[in-house]
A and B are shown apart, each in its own frame.
Chain A
Amino acid sequence: MAALGARRLLQPGRRWFSETVSGAPSPPASPLYPPVVASVTAKSKAAKSRRLQRFNERVHAAATVEEKLRLYGKLQRPKYMVYPQTFALNADRWYRSFTKTVLVPGMPPRAAAAKLPVAAAGTTPEDGRVPNPGAEAPRAVEAPGTAEAPAAAKTPEPAAGAAPYLDMGELRSLACDALLQESFYQNKKRPFLYRDQDHTPGPFLTQLVSTLAAFLSGRNPLLAASSLDLNPEVNYYWHHGEEVVVHGHRKGRVDPVRFQIDDNPHLQIRVPKQLPKVVPLESDLGDVPVIDHKPSKLPLFKKQYENKVFTGSKVADPCCYGHTQFHLLPDKLKRERFIRERLEDQIEVVYRSNGIASLFAWTAAQAMYQGFWSEADVTRPFVSQAVVTDGKYFAFFCYQLNTLALTAETIKNNPRKNICWGTDSKPLYDVVEDGNVKGFNDEVLLQLVRFLLNRPKEL
C-alpha cells in the first residue's frame, strides 16, 4: 500500500514538473469542481445541518400537499402528547409557551363593535306551549331589551344592512326548546356512570348548534355553504425548542422537542372561505410566557406513533377552512370536582387550555393544508373560533395563527406571535325545572350568534 501510495504521489509530481504553466487561465464555462459542502453521512454538526437542509428542500419541492404532509411527518420519534382537555395545573401558561400564543382577555374588537340589530322586548316568545315560559323570559329580557331598544332605534337602517332585525325571542325559544327536549321532555334512561356529559349536554349542544346554524344560514351565506362534522378528529404535529436525549442509543444528541395534539371536538363547522383576519399579521399584543422547565414537568408524557396532521377531513375537501369548533368538557373536569379540591382558579384554566390547544391545532392544520409549514411560514393569518362548554357554562375563544415557525432555528428571527382572545365561562341558564328554563342569559346566546354570523367582508 505504501509503495502504491508513493508511486501515486510521484506521478502527479512528475506531471507537475513537466507541465509548463499554460497561458491565461481561461474562465471555465462551469465550475470545474462541485461545490465544497459538508458530507451527508458523517457524524458532525455540519453534516447534520446539511441533512436537515436536504430534508427541507425535499419538502419544499413536494408536488402535492399530501406529499408534503407525508414527508413532514415521516420520521417517528418519541413525542409529547398534548391534551387540550387536561386537569394539569396552570396548563394554559404551558400551552401558550409551546405554541407561542398571546392570550388577550375578552373578545376581539371587531366582534364587539358589530352591534347586531336586535329586536326589542316587544316580541315575546311563543307562549302557551310550555306552561309559562313567557313570564320568565320577558322579565329576563326586560333589562337588556330596554337598553337595546334605544340603541337599535338609533342605528340607522343602512348600517344595519339589508338584514332585518335579529329576533332574539325566536333564538331564545330555539335554544330553550333544545334544552328542554334534552333535559326534560325526552324520556331517557339514567346516565351511565361518569357519562353524564353524553346524556344531556352533548345532545343539547348538537341540537342547539344545528338549529341555530340552520336558522342563521339565511343571513350568513358562508354558513349556507358550510359542512358540519359531528365528533371529528383534529391532529397536529410540530417541533418547538430543543433538548438533549436523555437515555437510549441516541443519548447525548440534541433533538427538537416534538409535540402532537390529538383532539376530538364535539362539533365543528368547516367553510370553503377563510374568516377575515382580526389584527394585522405582525401585531404584538402581549407577551408569551417563558417556562424554564422541561415539558414533562407539566405533566406531559412521551409516546411514539404516527405523526398526523388532520383538520377534520382530507385535503381534497373544498371546505378546508375552519369556522367554529364546539368542545364539551368531560365529567372528569367538571366544576364541582375543582371546587371540592379547592382549586377554583383552575376552572378557567381548563377552558383556556382547551381553547388555545384545540384552536392552535386546527388553524395550524388548516395552514398546512394550504402548503405552509415551519420553513415556509404563513403569508396570511388563519382565524378560527371555538366555544368550550360543559353544558351550562360557555366560554368563547377566537384564535389568529400568525406564525407556524416554532422550531429552534426558525423561531430565532421570528417576531410574530399567535394571538388568542378568550372570555371567562358564563352560564347560559340557571336551572331547568318543570318545563321552564330559569335565568336564561341572553348575552351568551348573543355571543354565540355573533360567532356563527362571522364571515368574510365580501359576503
Chain B
Amino acid sequence: LFPGVRQAQWLTKTKLVEGLPPAVQGIVDNPAHGLQELEERAKQAVSHARLWDTAEVAPRRERYCPVLFENLIHICRLMSGKYPSLSKRMLARNCRIAATWERESILLQVRGLSGILMNSTTPIPPVASKEEILATKEHVLETFYPIAPTIDLQEVNVYKELNDTGQCFGDGYPYSHPHTLFFLESANVRTDRFRPEQLRAKMLMFAFGNALAKAKALHGDDPKVLEQPVVVQSIGTDGQLFQFMVFQLNTTDLVSNDGVKNLVWIDSDQNLYEKAQCVPEVKKRVVTKPAGISGFQPDTFKKFLALYLHGTV
C-alpha cells in the first residue's frame, strides 16, 4: 500500500539519491563506447521481442518480457569483443537469496527467488566518495509514525538464521561478487505484476540482501562500518518500463538509527519505447498507426548498457 521505497529505506537504513550515480552517468555520456551504433541493434531487439518472435500475431508478456531481456543482454554481452574483461561474468538464474539482519530490535529477513543474478570475478568499485558516505551520518531516516515500519511484512518464526547469498553458491566459486540483479515482471495479468513503486522496493530489498550477505562473507558477521563498501546494481522491468538502481552498502551496523547510512541511487520509470503496434491500426480504410515500434528511447538502453559495463570500464 505504501510508497514502498520509503519503507524499504527505513528497513535497510538507506539514503535515497535520485538519478544515476555520476560514474554510471559518465559511461552513458562517454562517446568512446560506441553507444550510438548500438541504437539500431537495440531497436531491432525490441522489435524482435515485441513483434516478430512468435508465429501468432502478437506475443504475450510472459513471452516477450524474457525475450526482450535476453536480446538486450545479448547485445551487451557482444561488447566483450571490445572489452575482453567483460567475459568474466556469469549469469545465474533462479538463485535463492537469504539474508538476516536486525533493525532496532526487530529481526528482519529477506528470502526468496531473486530473479536473475549476474556475477563477476571483480567487485564494483564504490560509487560514492568517502565524504558522501560520512555525510549520510547527518541524514535522518524517515519514520512513519504512527505506522510501524514493519507493516505489510510477513511475520514468521525463524528457527535458523540463514545468511547465504547462500549464496546459492558453494565455496571457491570464481564469480563471487554479485554485480547486477534483474527482475522481470512478466505475468500476463496486470494484477499479478508488481507496480513500479513496489518493484523498486523489491529491487532495493534484494539488492540489500545480496550486498549484506556478501559483506558478511567478506568481513564477518560483526556489525560495523565497511572500509570497502559493497556495490550491487539492480534493474527491473515489465517489458516496457525500466527501473535502474545502484545500491552501496556502507555499513552492516543496522541496529541503531544513526551513524553512517547506506546509499541508493534510483532512476525510475524509464520507458524504452512508447508503443509496439503488431498489426497496423486502420480506421475507415486509412492506416492511422503503422505496424512497428514507436517512440523508441535510446537513452534507456544506454543506461542499461552502462550499468552492464560498470565495474569493468
Query: With the chains together, A195 CA to B77 CA distance in Å?
Result: 29
Given contacts A187-B170, A235-B55, contact A210 B80 (CB under 8 A): no
Contact with A along B172-203 (1 / 0, CB 8 A): 11110000000000000000000000000000
Given contacts A235-B55, A313-B48, contact A217 B87 (CB under 8 A): no
Query: With the chains together, A130 CA to B172 CA distance in Å?
Result: 6
Contact with B along A211-229 (1 / 0, CB 8 A): 1011101110001110111
Residues of chain A with a CB closer than 8 A to B44's CB: 227, 317-319
Partner of A207, one of B54, B70, B90: B90
Whether A186 pairs with B87 at a CB distance below 8 angstroms is no
Interface size counted on chain A using CB atoms at 8 A: 41
B287 CB to nearest chain A CB (Å): 16
B177 CB to nearest chain A CB (Å): 13
Residues of chain A with a CB closer than 8 A to B173's CB: 181, 185
Nearest-CB residue, chain B, relative to A174 = B87
Residues of chain B with a CB closer than 8 A to A227's CB: 44-45, 48, 71, 74
Q: Is B96 an interface residue (CB 8 A)?
A: yes
Nearest-CB residue, chain A, relative to B57 = A314
Most chain A CB within 10 A, of B55, B169, B172, is at B55
Partner of A218, one of B45, B82, B94, B168: B82
Beyond A214-B80, A225-B41, 6 additional pairs, beta carbon < 8 A: A186-B169, A187-B169, A215-B87, A227-B44, A228-B70, A228-B74
Given contacts A177-B174, A217-B81, contact A230 B70 (CB under 8 A): yes
Partner of B174, one of A129, A188, A318: A129
Residues of chain B with a CB closer than 8 A to A217's CB: 78, 80-81
Nearest-CB residue, chain A, relative to B63 = A231
Q: Is B52 an interface residue (CB 8 A)?
A: yes
A residues with a Cβ closer than 8 A to B are: 129-131, 174, 177-178, 181, 184-188, 203, 207, 210-211, 213-215, 217-219, 223-225, 227-230, 232-233, 235, 308, 310, 313-314, 316-319, 435
Q: Is B86 an interface residue (CB 8 A)?
A: yes
Residues of chain A with a CB closer than 8 A to B86's CB: 214
Interface size counted on chain B using CB atoms at 8 A: 39
24 contacts between A and B (CB under 8 A): A129-B174, A177-B90, A178-B90, A181-B175, A184-B170, A186-B92, A187-B168, A188-B94, A207-B90, A207-B91, A211-B90, A214-B80, A214-B81, A214-B86, A218-B82, A223-B78, A225-B41, A227-B45, A229-B67, A230-B70, A314-B51, A316-B47, A317-B52, A319-B44
Whether A210 pairs with B74 at a CB distance below 8 angstroms is yes
Whether B174 pairs with A130 at a CB distance below 8 angstroms is yes
Partner of B77, one of A130, A178, A214: A214
Nearest-CB residue, chain A, relative to B167 = A187
Residues of chain A with a CB closer than 8 A to B91's CB: 207, 210
Q: Is B126 an interface residue (CB 8 A)?
A: no
Whether A310 pairs with B55 at a CB distance below 8 angstroms is yes
The 3 A-B residue pairs with the shortest CB-CB distance, nearest first, are: A218-B81, A214-B77, A314-B52
Query: With the chains together, A337 CA to B41 CA distance in Å?
Result: 45
Q: Is B95 an interface residue (CB 8 A)?
A: yes
Partner of A203, one of B47, B53, B84, B93: B93
Partner of B170, one of A178, A185, A319: A185
Residues of chain B with a CB closer than 8 A to A184's CB: 170
Residues of chain A with a CB closer than 8 A to B166's CB: 187
Query: With the chains together, A163 CA to B238 CA distance in Å?
Result: 41
Whether B169 pairs with A185 at a CB distance below 8 angstroms is yes
Nearest-CB residue, chain A, relative to B166 = A187
Query: With the chains together, A118 CA to B86 CA distance in Å?
Result: 22
Most chain B CB within 10 A, of A207, A211, A232, A233, is at A211
Query: With the chains together, A181 CA to B41 CA distance in Å?
Result: 30
Contact with A along B13-36 (1 / 0, CB 8 A): 000000000000000000000000
Given contacts A177-B175, A185-B169, A313-B48, contact A214 B71 (CB under 8 A): no
Nearest-CB residue, chain B, relative to A187 = B168
Nearest-CB residue, chain B, relative to A223 = B78
A190 CB to nearest chain B CB (Å): 14
